[in-house]
Chains A and B, each alone.
Chain A
Amino acid sequence: MFGFGDLGVWSAYAFTIFSVLICILYGILKWNETDEDTKETGK
Protein backbone atom coordinates (compact mmCIF):
# COMPACT_ATOMS: atom_id res chain seq x y z
CA MET A 1 0.00 0.00 0.00
CA PHE A 2 3.10 2.28 -0.16
CA GLY A 3 2.50 3.34 3.41
CA PHE A 4 -0.90 4.91 2.76
CA GLY A 5 -3.60 4.68 5.40
CA ASP A 6 -6.54 3.65 3.25
CA LEU A 7 -7.59 2.60 -0.20
CA GLY A 8 -9.08 6.04 -0.96
CA VAL A 9 -5.69 7.79 -0.90
CA TRP A 10 -3.99 4.83 -2.60
CA SER A 11 -6.60 5.10 -5.36
CA ALA A 12 -6.02 8.84 -5.65
CA TYR A 13 -2.33 8.24 -6.35
CA ALA A 14 -3.12 5.32 -8.67
CA PHE A 15 -5.59 7.48 -10.61
CA THR A 16 -3.04 10.29 -10.85
CA ILE A 17 -0.30 8.01 -12.15
CA PHE A 18 -2.76 6.35 -14.52
CA SER A 19 -3.69 9.78 -15.89
CA VAL A 20 -0.05 10.70 -16.47
CA LEU A 21 0.62 7.36 -18.18
CA ILE A 22 -2.39 7.82 -20.46
CA CYS A 23 -1.03 11.22 -21.50
CA ILE A 24 2.42 9.78 -22.20
CA LEU A 25 1.09 6.78 -24.08
CA TYR A 26 -1.26 8.89 -26.17
CA GLY A 27 1.52 11.30 -27.08
CA ILE A 28 3.86 8.51 -28.13
CA LEU A 29 1.25 6.63 -30.17
CA LYS A 30 0.06 9.77 -31.96
CA TRP A 31 3.46 11.46 -32.21
CA ASN A 32 3.65 11.37 -35.99
CA GLU A 33 -0.05 11.41 -36.80
CA THR A 34 -0.67 14.13 -39.34
CA ASP A 35 -3.78 15.96 -40.51
CA GLU A 36 -4.56 18.23 -43.43
CA ASP A 37 -3.02 21.25 -41.70
CA THR A 38 0.24 19.42 -41.00
CA LYS A 39 0.44 18.49 -44.67
CA GLU A 40 -0.33 22.01 -45.86
CA THR A 41 2.86 23.33 -44.30
CA GLY A 42 4.89 20.56 -45.90
CA LYS A 43 6.53 19.61 -42.60
Chain B
Amino acid sequence: MTSTGILFMAVSVGSVTCLFVWCLWKVLSGKKNPDHLGHVEPIEREDLTRR
Protein backbone atom coordinates (compact mmCIF):
# COMPACT_ATOMS: atom_id res chain seq x y z
CA MET B 1 0.00 0.00 0.00
CA THR B 2 1.46 3.33 -1.02
CA SER B 3 1.60 6.43 1.15
CA THR B 4 -1.00 8.16 -1.04
CA GLY B 5 -3.20 5.09 -0.66
CA ILE B 6 -2.90 5.37 3.11
CA LEU B 7 -3.69 9.08 2.85
CA PHE B 8 -6.81 8.47 0.74
CA MET B 9 -8.01 5.75 3.06
CA ALA B 10 -7.33 7.74 6.22
CA VAL B 11 -9.01 10.90 4.94
CA SER B 12 -12.04 9.05 3.55
CA VAL B 13 -12.59 6.76 6.52
CA GLY B 14 -11.63 9.41 9.06
CA SER B 15 -13.89 12.10 7.65
CA VAL B 16 -17.05 9.96 7.48
CA THR B 17 -16.34 8.50 10.94
CA CYS B 18 -15.84 11.94 12.50
CA LEU B 19 -18.96 13.27 10.81
CA PHE B 20 -21.04 10.32 12.00
CA VAL B 21 -19.76 10.55 15.59
CA TRP B 22 -20.29 14.33 15.67
CA CYS B 23 -23.85 13.97 14.34
CA LEU B 24 -24.67 11.23 16.87
CA TRP B 25 -23.26 13.36 19.66
CA LYS B 26 -25.35 16.34 18.54
CA VAL B 27 -28.50 14.22 18.34
CA LEU B 28 -28.00 12.46 21.67
CA SER B 29 -26.94 15.58 23.55
CA GLY B 30 -29.53 17.80 21.87
CA LYS B 31 -32.12 19.76 23.75
CA LYS B 32 -35.03 17.78 25.05
CA ASN B 33 -38.05 19.86 24.22
CA PRO B 34 -41.07 17.66 24.67
CA ASP B 35 -43.55 20.51 24.64
CA HIS B 36 -43.21 21.01 20.91
CA LEU B 37 -43.83 17.33 20.23
CA GLY B 38 -47.46 16.87 19.37
CA HIS B 39 -47.97 20.60 19.18
CA VAL B 40 -49.01 21.33 15.61
CA GLU B 41 -48.10 24.82 14.60
CA PRO B 42 -48.21 26.24 11.09
CA ILE B 43 -44.80 27.22 9.84
CA GLU B 44 -46.11 30.11 7.78
CA ARG B 45 -49.36 32.02 7.40
CA GLU B 46 -49.91 30.64 3.91
CA ASP B 47 -49.94 27.11 5.30
CA LEU B 48 -52.50 28.11 7.91
CA THR B 49 -54.94 29.28 5.25
CA ARG B 50 -54.47 26.11 3.24
CA ARG B 51 -55.32 23.75 6.04
Q: Do A and B truly interact?
A: no
